[in-house]
Amino acid sequence: IALATDDPYEVIEKSKEMNDVGCYFLDIQLEADINGIKLGSEIRKYDPIGNIIFVTSHSELTYLTFVYKVSAMDFIFKDDPSQLQSRIIDCLETAHTRLKLLSKESTVETIELKRGSNSIYVQYDDVMFFESSTKSHRLIAHLDNRQIEFYGNLKELAQLDERFFRCHNSFVVNRHNIESIDSKERIVNFKNGEHCFAS
């Protein structure tokens, strides 16, 4: 156990300092100005793939984890103390298994897409390309099956990693997700069926 506290801000500070994937057991009802689900949302900013488990007697609040995009591993209800210990052990074993799988692969690389006061974390491999938005200082991330508008600039994105390349004034592409290139028409086609222009 790295930290046991009733102060949510200590947990946030700990998640900022850690260089590893964490496992967090959080109560939803906290004696503080933020609840456990909001705390989970804050943890996600610093530990996007950490394991978050809520231990609670308030099953009616579980829907809030979807509102805050927390991606909880489990909800353990205090009302059933006979199951409490076995569920906690199950969660720890699952977290350990996931950690071993992650360490076998290369570390999952993610990018933070800032949208006002919120951030969304996206894996590099899910990005097809980035595009300039018509709105000032904004870009559009084209992912496998959705698009996200966020604040950023193409120059920085082109320097993220060797797989990202600025092929046009308005586009940065992920070379790993290119399906084909039409050099005559100067069009780059991606694995998800989308395309962008090259110059």
The reply to whether 90 and 31 lie within a common domain is yes
How many whole angstroms separate alpha carbon 91 and alpha carbon 65? 17
CATH of the domain at 91: 3.40.50.2300
What does the pLDDT read at residue 105? 56
- pTM reported for the whole predicted model: 0.50
Give the pLDDT score at 172: 98
**One domain for residues 137 and 153:** yes
Q: What does the pLDDT look like over 52-84, one tens digit per residue?
A: 999 988 777 777 778 778 888 988 888 888 888
Give how many domains the chain has, as a whole number.
2
pLDDT at 19 over 80: no
pLDDT band at 31 (very low <50, low <70, confident <90, very high): confident
> Are 99 and 155 in a shared domain?
no
Domain that holds residue 188: 110-197
Residue 165 lies in a domain: yes
d(C-alpha 62, C-alpha 54), whole Å: 9
Q: Give me the chain's average pLDDT, please.
A: 89
Residue 3 lies inside a defined structural domain of this protein? no
Within this chain, do residues 64 and 144 fall inside the same structural domain, yes or no?
no
* Inter-CA distances, 35 with 28, 57, 81, 95, 155, Å: 6, 13, 22, 23, 38
Residues 100, 117 within the same domain:
no
99 lies in the same domain as 114: no
- Cα separations (Å) of 112 from 27, 32, 91, 140, 150? 26, 27, 27, 13, 9
Percentage of residues of the chain with pLDDT beyond 90: 52
User: Are 100 and 151 contained in the same domain?
Assistant: no
**Does residue 1 lie within any of the structural domains?**
no
14 part of a folded domain? yes
Residue 2 lies in a domain: no
On whether both 51 and 87 belong to a single domain, the answer is: yes
**Statement to judge: residues 62 and 127 lie in one domain:** no
Q: Which of 114, 198, 128 is nearest to 163 (CA)?
A: 128
Q: Tell whether 66 and 124 lie within a shared domain.
A: no
**Residue 143 sits in the same domain as residue 74:** no
Quick one: the chain helix, strand, coil %, rounded to 5?
30, 35, 35
